[in-house]
């Protein structure tokens, strides 16, 4: 193994508290929108791309207004995350610091452009990662973005760490081993390795 590619939400941090505030603010000021976006609402969207999220959260709107609203939510989210950050999972920086001494580290997340940058900006963890990718930049699936990271960085034997079935499927698409972060937001039907918290990666690798 020469590298580790991480999912972000439910694997490295939980941004739902900050994101729910940012999105609810947009929903409340948008004339055609209703209600608010809760942390529990967001939990049900983890691992999905933005178009799927908009359909799930705003089913009462037509597709044009769903996308218009979700894009405004994402813009506001980046402002909030840059100022407030999210909740890092316990021990993450210590784990990343030690892993980065042995392996090349990367992030691939199903997010919009600017989201990973907000994670970096607030929590100052970019020094541990060599590259990242997301569909906001590439318009590709998570599996395709994992493959892009592999090809672009000439990786020989990476693993992908994530917490949802979508992460499992993306790793399978790219033909690499999958580490299931059981402490995250989702369930999976199979995995190559399982961790109960971030520090387990140090025992595993």
Report the CATH architecture of 3-14+87-204: 3-Layer(aba) Sandwich (3.40)
Residues 6+ apart with CB under 8 A from 77: 18, 19, 22, 23, 115, 118
DSSP 151-197: HHTT-SSEEEEESSHHHHHHHHHHT-EEEEETTSS---S--SEEESS
What average pLDDT does the segment 171-175 reach?
97
16-84 has which CATH code?
1.10.150
* Average pLDDT, rounded, for the chain: 95
DSSP 55-115: HHH-TTS-HHHHHHHHHHHHHHHHHHHHHH--EEPTTHHHHHHHHHTTSEEEEE-S--TTH
Taking the domains of the chain in order of start, what are their residue ranges? 3-14+87-204, 16-84
| Predicted TM-score (pTM) of this structure | 0.92
pLDDT exceeds cutoff 80 at 47 = no
pLDDT exceeds cutoff 90 at 49 = no
Residues 6+ apart with CB under 8 A from 198: 89, 90, 91, 92, 95, 181
pLDDT of residue 46: 81
Confidence of residue 48 (pLDDT cuts 50, 70, 90): confident
pLDDT of residue 84: 95
What average pLDDT does the segment 98-118 reach?
95
Do the domains spanning 3-14+87-204 and 16-84 agree at the CATH topology level?
A: no
């Amino acid at each position: 193994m020469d590298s580790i590619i991480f999912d972000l939400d439910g694997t490295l941090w939980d941004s739902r508290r900050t994101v729910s505030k940012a999105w609810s603010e947009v929903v409340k000021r948008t004339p055609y929108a209703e209600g608010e976006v809760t942390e529990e609402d967001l939990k049900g969207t983890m691992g999905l791309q933005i178009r799927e999220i908009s359909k799930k959260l705003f089913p009462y709107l037509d597709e044009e207004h769903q996308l218009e609203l979700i894009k405004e939510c994402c813009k506001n989210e980046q402002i909030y995350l840059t100022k407030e950050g999210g909740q890092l999972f316990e021990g993450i920086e210590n784990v990343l610091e030690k892993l980065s001494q042995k392996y090349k580290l990367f992030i691939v997340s199903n997010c919009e452009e600017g989201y990973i940058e907000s994670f970096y900006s607030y929590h100052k963890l970019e020094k541990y990662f060599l590259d990242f990718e997301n569909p906001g930049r590439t318009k590709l699936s998570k599996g395709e973005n994992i493959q892009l990271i592999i090809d672009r960085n000439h990786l020989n034997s990476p693993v992908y760490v994530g917490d949802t079935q979508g992460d499992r499927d993306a790793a399978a698409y790219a033909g690499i081993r999958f580490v299931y972060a059981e402490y995250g937001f989702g369930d999976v039907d199979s995995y190559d390795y399982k961790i109960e918290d971030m520090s387990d990666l140090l025992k595993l690798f």
